[in-house]
Amino acid sequence: MTWKPGQPVRLETERFLLRTLNRLQIVRYTYEWSFDPEVMNPFGLEAGIWSRRKWYRRFKKADNRRRFYFGIWPKVSDKPIGMEVVDVDSRRVATLSIVIGDRRWWGKGVVQETRRAVIAFIFEQLQCPRVWGMPTARNFPSIFNYQKLGFTCEGILRQHGIDPATRQRCDIIVYSMLRDEWLEKNRREAAA
């Protein structure tokens, strides 16, 4: 794939197409998710408090250079069901987050399938040496996904977060993967 910074990105997996969204598209496709506490709270955001304008403002960094919002389209649908977010900092460390806003798609292996393509893009196209994610300690589906993809648990940031639903402090778990580990994992899987 030849991709240049700033250009839209398109990735494909067996069941899904991932396409980067601009701010207007993000609002068009994801605004309705902002009303669902089960979708928003694990993200650290309150549900039902967002006007369209405020929601739009959140995504001003969607530039396909440092910040990528990948809409996830099932090949059988014309509407995205979720979004993979990649944020690359000045040290070329990429932070991951994901939301499956259409809850009918929870429990269907979407993250396992789409995240592999996103991680390959991060390591192969963006040439980042490290990717990481920080789920809250009670976000069991998210923790499961990091572990199953072979991320290393680096530790726990104790009481680092605040649960928007309960306003209680919560622990955050740090998961990471290095580029060399990813390449080695792929080599082993290909050889098996």
Ligand X SMILES: CC(C)(COP(=O)(O)OP(=O)(O)OC[C@H]1O[C@@H](n2cnc3c(N)ncnc32)[C@H](O)[C@@H]1OP(=O)(O)O)[C@@H](O)C(=O)NCCC(=O)NCCS
Q: Quick one: tokens of 89?
A: 């900092």
Nearest to 21 by CA among 51, 46, 50, 56: 56
Told to check if 142 binds ligand X by CB under 6 A, we report yes
Element (H, E) at 112: helix 110-120
Told to check if 144 binds ligand X by CB under 6 A, we report yes
Please give the residue whose beta carbon sits closest to ligand X in the complex: 42
Nearer to ligand X, 5 or 141 (CB): 141
Residue of 141, 147, 184, 185 that binds ligand X (CB under 6 A): 141
Cα(105)–Cα(165) distance, rounded to whole angstroms? 23
Q: Is 39 helix (H, G, I), strand (E, B) or coil?
A: helix
Residue of 83, 110, 118, 128 that binds ligand X (CB under 6 A): 110
178 to 60, 73, 86, 106: CA distances (angstroms): 28, 28, 15, 27
Contact positions with ligand X (CB under 6 A) in 7-46: 39, 42-43
Residue of 3, 106, 163, 174 that binds ligand X (CB under 6 A): 106
Nearest to 185 by CA among 132, 93, 121, 120: 120
Told to check if 126 binds ligand X by CB under 6 A, we report no
Cα(169)–Cα(175) distance, rounded to whole angstroms? 20
Tokens 């929870």 correspond to 106
Q: Binders of ligand X: how many residues, by CB under 6 A?
A: 19
Of 49-57, 66-74, 91-99, 149-157: span binding ligand X (CB under 6 A): 91-99
Residue of 145, 149, 151, 173 that binds ligand X (CB under 6 A): 145
Amino acid at the residue 118:
V
Query: Per-residue x/- marks for ligand X, 45-74, CB under 6 A?
Result: ------------------------------
Chain contacts with ligand X (rule: CB under 6 A): 39, 42-43, 97-100, 106-108, 110-111, 135, 139-142, 144-145
